[in-house]
Amino acid sequence: MHIVFKGMLDLVQTLSETSIEVHEWDQNNIRLKRLPNGLKLHELSTQQPALSFSGCRLAHAVVKADYLDRRNLMMPGVGFLLQACSTIDFGKSPIELKSGASKALNDFSLSSMAGRVGQGLAILYGHKMGLKFAAHLRSHVESLPAGSTGAAHKNAAMADFLFASNQQTVLVESKGSFTLRENNPSSIKKVLKAALRDQIDPWMQFLQPTPSNGYVFYSCLREGSAEPSAMFIVDPEGDTDESSDIPLSIEQVIRENYGAWLRAMGLTDSAKRLLHPLQDGGSGAEYEFLIVEIDGRKFAFLDDPYDCLSCYGFHTTMIGLDLFVLQAISSVIQSKDETLRDLLVNLPDADGFSESYGSIFPDGSIFGPIDTGPIEYIRVLL
């Protein structure tokens, strides 16, 4: 057990950057019945700048993705950290699987692990696109009232996430693989086309407001292959279909985003109040937070936390939130007239902040081995 948790510590303390290649496909090529014979990847797609990240940032993204899925009750976040430290080599750039990793996992866990890495990389690429916030689509749909028109779609295949900025929403399906060893255009097209057809196209019409785009991200990590690990992207543009019947506004996406992180911090009741303010008769509970200042910005960490890592004895990694964001969440929990979309319009950008303290996301969430002492303690009503 000591070795396992040492591996987790090594992962979240991996602050040096690695990367993954990015290839963007034209949707017209993806939608073809069959690709012309003999075409190479560079003839069908455009190579974009690589996506750079650290092991800590990817861990942050996967923990966030796990908590966005409200159906995931079995050690969300921690399971990935336990596996990733022995599976992925973050010391290589581009990123690689460790030798023998694919053989060490059975088919079920391999698929699960690859999918979670794919979700984490999708979140990181969303940040690169300026999309700070994310909601898990199936969790939202399954939470709708039984008699609503939206609930009629709950058994349908659907995309993983709806990402958002303050101005737009973007539908995202993520795929992951540890077994595609070469950039075989037909194999890549098959995965992207099926995801577009089954999980993106229908939901571009179901959601209101209509997302501005619908992306599929297919992330392939490789072990000792001649082809480096790569991410493949296709992004058909949305339309303005007025028949959409499932409301999922920017405000709701932002609330889902922070509800997930509150759960990761151990604030489950506060997350419920944020997502369902009319179902809770009270105005919240008061919690004490220790405040740490990093590069002139204040971050709040629950004093005596019971978050997704500390409850398993992993106390060296801290999970927190920008104090400005935490106070905005407090305001909307206490007042039905406030919105996070309005209160966070001037949320500080994460660019330029030192990653020597861990991972800071554009939404103000922070994750990593924070070793700076607190400057003060405050109490916040959540």
DSSP label at 139?
A: H
pLDDT on residue 5: 40
Single out the residue of 113, 119, 114 nearest to residue 134, CA to CA.
Answer: 119
Q: In 3-state terms, what secondary structure has residue 46? A: strand
| Residue whose tokens read 């179902």 | 279
Q: What is the pTM of this model?
A: 0.90
Average pLDDT, the chain: 84
Cα–Cα distance for residue pair 291/238, rounded to 1 Å? 42
One-letter amino acid identity for 246?
I
Structure tokens at 266: 């151990």
Res. 209: pLDDT tops 70: yes
Q: In 3-state terms, what secondary structure has residue 170? A: strand
Give the pLDDT confidence of 210-226 residue by residue, as tens digits.
899 999 999 999 988 78
Give the pLDDT confidence of 20-40 residue by residue, as tens digits.
999 999 999 999 999 999 899
| 8 Å CB contact between 82 and 112 | no
- The CA distances from residue 251 to 135, 166, 200, 206, in Å, are 11, 9, 21, 18
Average pLDDT over residues 328-348: 93
Tell me the CA end-to-end span of the chain in Å, nearest whole number: 35
Res. 16: pLDDT tops 90: no
Give the pLDDT confidence of 273-323 residue by residue, as tens digits.
999 876 555 678 999 999 998 888 899 998 765 555 554 444 456 889 999
Helices (H), the chain: 2-12, 27-30, 41-44, 55-68, 78-87, 101-104, 107-128, 137-142, 185-195, 201-206, 250-264, 268-275, 323-334, 340-343
Give the pLDDT confidence of 122-176 residue by residue, as tens digits.
999 999 999 999 999 998 888 877 767 777 788 889 999 999 999 999 999 999 9
Sign of CA dihedral 181, 170, 111, 10: positive
Cα–Cα distance for residue pair 260/262, rounded to 1 Å? 5
pLDDT on residue 219: 96
Q: What phi and psi values does residue 222 have, to the nearest 5 degrees?
A: -125, 155
Give the pLDDT confidence of 304-314 residue by residue, as tens digits.
655 555 544 44
